[in-house]
Amino acid sequence: MFRSKREVREFVWRKIEKYSKFPPPFGRIPNFVGAEKACEKLRKLEQYRKAKVVFSAPDSPLKRAREIVLEDGKILLAVKPKMTGFLVIEKGKARTIKEMMRYGKEVNLDELDLKVDIFLQGCVAIDGMGNRIGKGSGFGDKEYQLLKEKGLLSDDCLYVVVAHPIQIFEDLSYLMDEHDVKADVILTPDEIIWIKRS
């Protein structure tokens, strides 16, 4: 039993270090060997295939996912680091933050006329019930809540998290706060895990 989210983060950052890719995992959403393979699983989701708009956090393990979204001719809504703004990207590249800034068009959420069908995040840890722990900044939950408040999430928006098996736990619900948003599906390099709602 972990005593805090911080303890979970420290545990994961140590355990995932040998599987991590640049940048080093500590203090961030870890980028790991196999992240591209996990992102490729997006295309196996029926909801993704039907989706017109996909939101992605700027996390490194989601690089391939952002690339896939644009390859498939969908609209990518991305957030700049530290939630300093939102970008709509329809063409070009969006693997890195630099590419997102170059090809993206800065938008005002109040003026956006679209609905996000897939909400995509990385994580530090997640459990089998969809309880996600980020790096501690709270941005992931704030991004979701903000899009929801602005009416920019479709009614059946799917919350997708990309994770390494080391990041998946049985139950972290006892550490969750009221504002924490639950994921619907976890993509790992080897499987698609659907969250069962009780």
pLDDT tens-digit readout, 9-44: 999 999 999 999 988 999 999 999 999 999 999 999
Nearest in space to 107 (alpha carbons), one of 157, 145, 147, 153: 147
Q: 198 pLDDT exceeds 80?
A: no
CA dihedral of 16, 17, 22, 26, whole degrees rounded to 10: 90
Distances, alpha carbon 80 to alpha carbons 57, 87, 102, in Å: 8, 7, 12
Instruction: Give tens-digit pLDDT for 108-157.
Output: 999 999 999 999 999 999 999 999 999 998 888 899 999 999 999 999 99
- CA 5 to chain CA mean position, Å: 18
Q: What structural domains does the chain harbor?
A: 5-76+108-194 (3.40.50.10420)
Tokens read off for 109: 């959420």
**CA torsion through residues 11, 186, 151, 116, sign:** positive
Reported pTM: 0.96
* Cβ 31 vs Cβ 12: under 8 Å: no
